[in-house]
Amino acid sequence: MLCPPLTMTQETVMSEPLTEQEIVRRQKLERLRQKGIDPYPTRAHRTHTAAEAIVAFEQGELAEEQSVTLTGRLMAIRIMGKASFAHIEDGSGRIQFYIRRDIVGDKTYEFFRRDLDLGDFIEVTGPVFRTRTGEITVNVHQIRLLAKALRPLPDKWHGLKDVETRYRHRYVDLMVNPEVRQIFIRRAQIVRALRRFLDERGFLEVETPILQPIYGGAAARPFITHHNQLNQDLFLRISFELYLKRLLVGGYEKVYEIGRDFRNEGISFKHNPEFTQLEFYWAYADYEQVMHLTEEMISYVAQEVLGTTKLIYQGDEIDLTPPWHRITLREAIKERTGIDYVQYPTAETLAAVMREHGFQPQAKATWGKLVDHLLGNAVEPYLIQPTFILDYPRDISPLAKKKPDDPTHVERFEFFIGGMEMGNAFTELNDPLDQEQRFLEMRRLYAPEDEEAHPMDEDYLLAQRYGMPPNGGFGMGIDRLTMLLTDQSSIREVILFPHLRSKG
RNA sequence: GGGCCCAUAGCUCAAUUGGCAGAGCAGCGGCCUUUUAAGCCGCGGGUUGCAGGUUCGAUUCCUGCUGGGCUCACCA
């Protein structure tokens, strides 16, 4: 038989016609059913993972001819007539098995040869031995199908490279690219280490609303949704800040949250519309103490996850060992551009001198945005080693407390590693009347129809009037930290299902 | 949103100046009882992202569209 007729009459929800290989696999499925074999049996059995079987054999824990039963996905097949080698892969790794016709019999051997495909999940049982070339191998006595795969696997050597397919069908990426699987294991380790670090220091993990009637705590455009029964528009949160600080009013002294923020903005190598944030708030601390905790926390995580505080990011050697470099924003900008922004206290004069220096700021940018432009364009890309940039202009930091000796600046820092902003922190503003003025100021800065204009959170002001302890707050992008610790240049490589435009 | 680049078989990639769309892997048939990117022989598989245009002839040149990548802008 050269090629079976390429027709399939079964109804399908997929719009694409079946490929030849898919038709062949469905025919095998039918053949199995006719033989009375369930291609999707309800239960599987295993005595060892692949890794456990290998260790058990190496340590002599398996008696002569003692059978093990392993499960996994069929990843490679080498048929040599009346005997064959193949590899299965489970969550612990790969292991080879050997199957001989004279051991399993004609019927089983033909089942293996004709009915199984790469990608199928199977169960194999038999004693473990070492081949002539030294590989620990299961000598199969019984083999069973656990789940038939109806789509062919990508190239066994080159894997799946097409970036769009990797993101849209991440499960395929994960099944054939082990280094991708490793990234998300490491991501979980990072989050676990952060939790452990904060838990050990008495921080309480809390959960605050994702659906919020008023958004705030950051400068970003929100996603809007709607509650039908309440007939109420709601916003997906852009930060946790205002809710977490309410908890300090309530009496908790150390709180943190790890969760998702949503920002309705541009997508780039370091921006995804939804991303994971860590924020903590610490009563009676200031931004100096938060800085200490930050460098301690990040180096702890690196030590826990990588076993070292030195790493390579995109070709640069980075040393996370504290203490980190500290420089004021004003000095950093002066160092890189020669511009001392305090000499140009209005948007007009600052924009003018920036243009003289070759910058092209937005025409209607506020003074604070101009300073931020200088930071982002002239300073940030050079901050490869971990660096705290301190003391931001007051008018771009409406939730931060003024410096006692300089009311034009606030006690705020951002920290940068590998040329990326990793986090933002400040001595939190806890003066309810000052806070109210800041909110009113922000409202004046933006026209009401401006999408960046922020609604006034009156309940937050009310909370502060009950008394909020002085405190230091902190926010950090976990996706970016994961990029750093896995040496990835795109945030999409550290998010399992990154946002992509719909097709068609 | 602007600029640049990319899209060819299930996967990874070729295709000369515009001249018959190919290879490896995967698949199918055959040989092969310690292989490991197994090997050998044979066979099938394409709306070249989509829609137009130029041309005797378009994977190739042009326009538009869709999706992706990089980059700039945007992102208190």
User: Residue A347 CA to nucleotide B71 C1', Å?
Assistant: 28
Say if CB A73 and CB A119 are below 8 A apart. Answer: yes
For the cut 90, the answer to whether the pLDDT of residue A455 exceeds it is: no
Q: Give exposure, A234-260, as e/b (b: 16+ Cβ within 10 Å).
A: bbbbbbbbbbbbbbbbeeebbbbbbbe
What secondary structure letter does DSSP report for A17? P
User: Residue A23 CA to nucleotide B6 C1', Å?
Assistant: 31
> What is the dihedral angle through the alpha carbons of A323, A325, A330, A332, rounded to the nearest 10 degrees?
-170
What pLDDT does residue A7 have? 42
Q: Which residues contact A128 (CB under 8 A, 6 or more apart)?
A: A53, A56, A57, A62, A66, A68, A136, A137, A138, A139
User: Residue A206 CA to nucleotide B57 C1', Å?
Assistant: 70
What pLDDT does residue A6 have? 39
Helices A347-356 and A367-374 sit at what angle, rounded to 10 degrees?
30
Residue A300 half-sphere exposure toward CB, CA atoms < 13 A: 16
For the cut 60, the answer to whether the pLDDT of residue A8 exceeds it is: no
What pLDDT does residue A14 have? 62
What pLDDT does residue A403 have? 96
Q: Nearest nt to A271, CA vs C1'? A: B75
Nearest residue: Cα versus C1' of B46: A19
User: Residue A31 CA to nucleotide B48 C1', Å?
Assistant: 35
Q: How confident is the model at residue A12 (pLDDT cuts 50, 70, 90)?
A: low
Residue A467 half-sphere exposure toward CB, CA atoms < 13 A: 3
Q: Nearest nt to A452, CA vs C1'? A: B76
Q: Nearest nt to A25, CA vs C1'? A: B27
What pLDDT does residue A143 have? 98
User: Residue A48 CA to nucleotide B31 C1', Å?
Assistant: 36
Q: Nearest nt to A81, CA vs C1'? A: B32
User: Residue A302 CA to nucleotide B26 C1', Å?
Assistant: 40
Q: Nearest nt to A220, CA vs C1'? A: B75
What pLDDT does residue A436 have? 94
Nearest residue: Cα versus C1' of B67: A503
Cα distance between residue A372 and residue A392, in whole Å? 9
DSSP string, A249-265: HHT-SEEEEEEEEE--S
Q: Nearest nt to A392, CA vs C1'? A: B76
| pLDDT (mean) for A419-432 | 96
Q: Which nucleotides of B are covered by protein (CB under 7 A)?
A: 1, 9-13, 24-29, 31-39, 43-45, 66-76
User: Residue A9 CA to nucleotide B51 C1', Å?
Assistant: 31
Q: How confident is the model at residue A452 (pLDDT cuts 50, 70, 90)?
A: low
For the cut 70, the answer to whether the pLDDT of residue A387 exceeds it is: yes
Predicted confidence (pLDDT) per residue in A273-309, tens digit: 999 999 999 999 999 999 999 999 999 999 999 999 9
Residue A276 half-sphere exposure toward CB, CA atoms < 13 A: 20
Nearest residue: Cα versus C1' of B45: A20
Q: Nearest nt to A131, CA vs C1'? A: B34
Nearest residue: Cα versus C1' of B43: A2
Q: Which residue has the higher pLDDT, A364 or A429?
A: A429
Rounded to 5 degrees, φ, ψ at A210 are -90, -40
Nearest residue: Cα versus C1' of B40: A80
Q: Nearest nt to A421, CA vs C1'? A: B75
Nearest residue: Cα versus C1' of B65: A504
Burial bucket for residue A59 (CB in 10 Å: 0-12, 13-18, 19+): exposed
Residue A490 half-sphere exposure toward CB, CA atoms < 13 A: 11
User: Residue A3 CA to nucleotide B55 C1', Å?
Assistant: 39
Sign of the CA dihedral with A247 first, then A411, A432, and A370 last: negative
Report the complex ipTM. Answer: 0.93
Can you tell me which residue has the tokens 């432009």?
A373
DSSP string, A43-94: ----S--HHHHHHHHHTT-SPTT-EEEEEEEEEEEEEETTEEEEEEEETTEE
What pLDDT does residue A2 have? 37
Nearest residue: Cα versus C1' of B13: A158
Say if CB A50 and CB A65 are below 8 A apart. Answer: no
For the cut 70, the answer to whether the pLDDT of residue A472 exceeds it is: yes
User: Residue A351 CA to nucleotide B3 C1', Å?
Assistant: 25
User: Residue A16 CA to nucleotide B65 C1', Å?
Assistant: 21
Say if CB A343 and CB A327 are below 8 A apart. Answer: no
Say if CB A473 and CB A414 are below 8 A apart. Answer: no
User: Residue A352 CA to nucleotide B73 C1', Å?
Assistant: 19
User: Residue A114 CA to nucleotide B33 C1', Å?
Assistant: 18
pTM of the shown model: 0.94
Beta-sheet pairing, A136-139 with A93-100 = parallel
A44: closest CA among A111, A118, A123? A123
For the cut 90, the answer to whether the pLDDT of residue A126 exceeds it is: yes
Can you tell me which residue has the tokens 């003289």?
A356
Q: How confident is the model at residue A237 (pLDDT cuts 50, 70, 90)?
A: very high
